[in-house]
């Protein structure tokens, strides 16, 4: 599933849209209940969002589901 959580990433930020993040993960919950769900630090990279604010949004949306933050090693 592709989650649009920012309109752009250039210029002064942050550009993360916390309401869009919430909406996307609510949709994930509705579509993938019963599945294992993995996600990156969505909204906290180029969008400049605060992961300390984003993580609780995701945790609330996916409460009770099998979900995992996936961190890849740096290139």
pLDDT tens digits, 40-50: 999 998 888 99
Q: Give the mean pLDDT of 2-7.
A: 74
Q: What is the mean pLDDT of the chain?
A: 90
**Is residue 43, in this structure, part of any structural domain at all?**
yes
**Is residue 29, in this structure, part of any structural domain at all?**
yes
| pLDDT of amino acid 8 | 66
**Is residue 48, in this structure, part of any structural domain at all?**
yes
Of 49, 31, 32, 33, nearest in space to 41 by CA: 49
Domain hosting 52: range is 18-69
Residue 8 has, within 13 A of its CA and on its CB side, a CA count of: 4
Total domains in the fold of the chain: 1
**Is residue 4, in this structure, part of any structural domain at all?**
no
**SS3 state at 37:** strand
Q: Which class for 56: exposed (0-12), middle (13-18), buried (19 or more C-beta within 10 A)?
A: exposed
pTM here is: 0.87
Q: Give the mean pLDDT of 17-30.
A: 95
| pLDDT of amino acid 60 | 98
**Is residue 1, in this structure, part of any structural domain at all?**
no
**Is residue 11, in this structure, part of any structural domain at all?**
no
Backbone angles phi, psi at 49, to 5 degrees: -70, 165
Which tops the pLDDT comparison, 24 or 6? 24
């Amino acid at each position: 599933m592709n989650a649009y959580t920012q309109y752009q990433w250039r210029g002064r930020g942050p550009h993360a849209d916390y309401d869009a993040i919430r909406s996307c993960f609510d949709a994930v919950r509705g579509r993938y209940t019963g599945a294992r769900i993995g996600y990156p630090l969505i909204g906290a990279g180029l969008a400049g969002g605060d992961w300390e604010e984003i993580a609780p949004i995701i945790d609330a949306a996916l409460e009770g589901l099998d979900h995992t933050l996936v961190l890849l090693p740096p290139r």
